[in-house]
Structure 1
Amino acid sequence: MSEWKKTRLGDLIDVKHGWAFKGEFFTETPTKNILLTPVNFHIGGGFKDDKFKYYDGDFPQEYILKEGDVIITMTDLSKMGDTLGYSAKIPKSNKIFLHNQRLGLVIPISENINIDFIHWLLRTRQYQKTIVGSCSGSTVKHTSPSKIRDYVFLLPSSPEQKRIADVLSCLDAKIENLRRQNETLEQIAQTLFKHWFIDFEFPNADGKPYKSSDGAMLRG
């Protein structure tokens, strides 16, 4: 820790606003272009791959996000600013993710920085508390690139940045894998519940589907 240096975030990164995509081209019908919004962030940060909005119009190609890009929520509708300032990392995908004006894109401006470390720094509670404390607005909370750049923290050496980021990324991947397994198990449980208790196809004494095997049905 003695080698960690007090650093202003703006000495290492810039934050670029997204484009004002035209509302008339928003659609609920899936297209190849997915318009990312703060809804696509987990509380605590991280990419949330559901509740997508789609876009069916023209736009500047520079607002296509790339795998590994780090984005930040710049607005939040919740009372406590649940996701404001948190980061997410663009995953590997065959989809096209678009950078809209409600999100910031992290642009490294120093060679002395590991972008994955920055991603995890922007998911710390201390950082997010600072951003929420400096935000504007009451119903809709806003932050800005300048407020994010003004955050001051202790910066470890480049090798330590990599070690920290690698450990946290590994843990995050395991957590995500468990989450997906839980979702699969929940879907299986819901399917069995419907099959057994709504369709009455639970196993009979012979292990066969009850209703399909002419099981007696109560009549009201």
Structure 2
Amino acid sequence: MAGEASAVVDDKGWLYHPYFPDHWKRCPLYSLAQWVNGLAFRNIQFSDSGLPVIKIAEIKGGISGQTKFTQQTFDDAVRVRYGDLLFSWSGQPETSIDAFWWRDPEGWLNQHIFRVTPTEGIDPVFFYYLLRYLKPNFVGIARNKQTTGLGHITKRDLENLEAAYPRLPEQRAIAHILGSLDDKIELNRQMAQTLESIARAIFKSWFVDFDPVVVNALRAGNSIPDKFTKRAARYRDNPDELSLSEEIQCQFPDRFQDSELGPIPERW
């Protein structure tokens, strides 16, 4: 029993005392930045235009049709501008509590989110990665407070949570290395997204609009179902628009047949 009790204490100790290199200077996380909480907006303050109210949904997904706007003006401390560092301190621990860069137009900060400004001598990019490094600690702390599915990180937690940092040149070196890796990850994500869009477009062209079959039917002088006459006109005027190799093109039939689904390529 004594061993079990000790393990619990050690676990809680780990949450507030994460590992850092020995030569880094230790201090409370709260002391390394200015933490400005957002506002609790009321429905009467919303309008059809103005600046967006930035909630966790906007931080994670950008401005959307669900975003609220307001034409009112508030303290400049809660005005969020492009490139600001934000920390969501309330929500579902694993998916909501985290650090984010704001990359959209300026707006007003909603409650449950801190606008974080590192103090002098703390590189902002290094501090962002410090917060990301501490995410398991934030999640663990927030889980201990979950009652209705939501958890939170309080000012007291930030004051009790030990952080550490090296000298400014080392901070900048760390920020540069991790930033370069993140840039590469983002580039790969964009490439994957582009390839996925290309794959969807090819699938629609080949297997929904049957463009290769339409082109083959035109070449063979076969009839084109009414459903595909517009596409046939498009390729009749621009026969080289569908640039497929002959090896691929010949895999498709050159005529359509009727079916319960409507006209489909012959033998499909």
TM range, smaller chain: 0.7 to 0.9
| Structure 2 residue corresponding to 1:185, chosen from 195, 202, 207 | 195
Shift of 1:41: 4.7
> 2:80–2:109: 8 Å Cα contact kept in structure 1?
yes
Is residue 72 of structure 1 aligned with residue 82 of structure 2?
no
Hey, what does 1:218 align to over in structure 2? Answer: 258
Hey, what does 2:74 align to over in structure 1? Answer: 60
Shift of 1:218: 2.5
Hey, what does 1:120 align to over in structure 2? Answer: 129
- Larger helix proportion of the pair: 2
Unaligned runs of 5+ in 2: 1-20, 233-253, 261-268
> 1:14–1:149: 8 Å Cα contact kept in structure 2?
no
Shift of 1:117: 1.1
Matched residue type, 1:64: R
Alignment map for 1:151-190 (pairs within 5 Å): 151-190=161-200
Distance 2:179 2:163 in 1: 20
Unaligned runs of 5+ in 1: 43-47
Distance 1:136 1:205, change over 3 A: closer
Q: Quick one: higher RCO (CA 8 Å, sep 6+), 1 or 2?
A: 1
> 1:64–1:99: 8 Å Cα contact kept in structure 2?
yes
Distance 1:155 1:131 in 2: 21
Matched residue type, 2:83: G
Q: Normalising by the residue count of structure 1, what TM-score does the alignment of the two structures yield? A: 0.78
Shift of 1:119: 0.8
Q: Residue by residue, what CA displacement relative to the aligned partner does 1:119-146 show, whole Å, maximum 9, x if unpaired?
A: 1111124433344245454322222233
Is residue 33 of structure 1 aligned with residue 47 of structure 2?
no
| Structure 2 residue corresponding to 1:202, chosen from 209, 212, 217 | 212
SS of residue paired to 2:57 = helix
> 2:143–2:151: 8 Å Cα contact kept in structure 1?
no
Q: Normalising by the residue count of structure 2, what TM-score does the alignment of the two structures yield? A: 0.65
SS of residue paired to 2:94 = coil
Distance 1:74 1:196 in 2: 48
Matched residue type, 1:38: I
Alignment map for 1:135-146 (pairs within 5 Å): 135=145, 137-146=147-156
| Greater C-alpha radius of gyration | 2
Distance 1:191 1:32, change over 3 A: farther
Is residue 49 of structure 1 aligned with residue 58 of structure 2?
no
Alignment map for 1:78-93 (pairs within 5 Å): 78=92, 81-91=93-103, 93=104
> 2:87–2:114: 8 Å Cα contact kept in structure 1?
yes
Q: How high is the sequence identity, in percent, across the aligned residues?
A: 23
Distance 1:15 1:183 in 2: 35
Shift of 1:103: 0.8
> 1:104–1:145: 8 Å Cα contact kept in structure 2?
no
Shift of 1:189: 1.6
Matched residue type, 1:72: F
CA RMSD, Structure 1 to Structure 2 (Å): 3.0
Hey, what does 1:45 align to over in structure 2? Answer: none
> 2:34–2:117: 8 Å Cα contact kept in structure 1?
yes
> 1:3–1:157: 8 Å Cα contact kept in structure 2?
no
Matched residue type, 2:80: L
